[in-house]
A = this chain, B = another copy of it.
Amino acid sequence: MNNRAEEGMPSVGKYDLIAELAKGFAQENASTVVGVGDDASVVAPGADEVVTSSKVFMENVHFDLTYVPLQYLGYKIVTVVCSDLLAMNAVPTQLTLTVAISNRFDLKAVQDLLDGVATNCENLHVDLVGLDVTTSRRDLIVSATAIGECESAHLTRRSGAAENELLCVSGDYAAAYAGLLLLEREKKVFDANPGVQPDFAGQDYLLQRQLRPEARLDIIEALRRENIVPTAMANVCDGMAAALMQICHASDKGAILFEERIPMTELTFNTLKSFDIVHTVAALNGGDDYELMFTIKQADFEKIKNVENVSIVGYVKEKAYGCQLLTSDNHQIEIKAQGFSKIQHHA
């Protein structure tokens, strides 16, 4: 299409620039046939099924460059798109990227972003097979597509949960949300007093979870080793409530979630408390965890104990039961999907 705003493009030719930027990426996978530098990317999948997910990341909507370093942004983008593939029980193998920049950004900025992309691609053994650089009017906009593969027998949708199956989650919750609260607070302090340095002592874990989260390829690999195929799975990207509702809705089932079983670090708990936020509300609706929620057959109960970093947090019920949270003080509260609603603060 017509590209009328070219001021953002560095003065080197576009094709040379892309070739140069792509140099930092190794090609590891035998399934990569044609990578960066042709009209399209080509993969020869080693499994029956090819799984893809695309996402767009926009400055001042999805990220704030006042506190997000570009390397971390690149790293996180890979985690976010790959986590959607992992949630199908697929293994990510390739990535394509489009970076739209304005004249606010120099070549170094794009390189920093791609450094972060490259680091996470290496961690996950994912090849960059498509790269485009285009112009935006002002904001940085990144579009990423993850390509992966899965044997039919492993493919896990949201829709396969059956009554009495165990509800499991990887990792711990609300740490990324607590990290966001810290970053936003320090941003306000900085805006008021630009000389003040941020004080994040002892809170590295929360910042890490917000700024540089990991995709749980380790969980998918562990499930393979234990011969566990989840019956349903969803990516916990918008809080546990949304993931649970997605599984229950697609499977036509209900579920019970035990509040006391929700994994959370003490650091997360205390930080949320310091912000007067109910920790369970943050776990249900906080977002940015990129953990996996899945259901397994009761017969897999012994095997799942061998998978590190997985907690059983509830089980699947009949549809009429709905999605219920059993609180630590033994109350039942219906869980609602709050995909876009704000976190509730203490009154």
Contact, CB under 8 Å: A1 / B76? yes
Residues of the B chain whose Cβ atoms lie less than 8 Å from the Cβ of A340: 3, 6, 9, 13-14
- Binary per-residue interface labels of chain A (135-153) against chain B in the complex, 1 for a CB within 8 Å, 0 otherwise: 1110101010111101010
Instruction: Tell whether, in the assembled complex, residue A96 and residue B54 are in contact, meaning their CB atoms are under 8 Å apart.
Output: yes
> Quick check: is A90 within 8 A (CB to CB) of the other chain?
yes
Asked if B180 contacts A2 (CB within 8 A), the reply is yes
Residues 185-201 of chain A, each 1 if its beta carbon lies under 8 Å from chain B, else 0: 00000000000000000
Distance in angstroms between the alpha carbons of A143 and B144 in the assembled complex:
9
Task: Report whether over half of chain A's contact residues are helix, strand or loop; otherwise say mixed.
Answer: mixed
A281 adjacent to chain B (CB < 8 Å):
no
Give this chain's copy count. Answer: 2
A-B contact pairs, 30 of them (CB 8 A): A9-B340, A13-B337, A15-B246, A34-B157, A38-B88, A39-B234, A40-B85, A40-B146, A41-B52, A42-B49, A43-B49, A44-B48, A44-B152, A45-B45, A45-B50, A52-B96, A52-B147, A54-B54, A54-B96, A54-B143, A55-B132, A56-B132, A56-B134, A56-B143, A58-B141, A60-B137, A61-B100, A61-B134, A61-B136, A143-B143
Interface residues, chain A, CB within 8 Å of chain B? Answer: 1-6, 9, 13-15, 33-34, 37-45, 48-58, 60-63, 76, 80, 84-85, 87-88, 90, 96, 98, 100, 129-130, 132, 134-137, 139, 141, 143, 145-148, 150, 152, 155, 157-159, 180, 233-235, 246, 250, 287-288, 337, 339-340
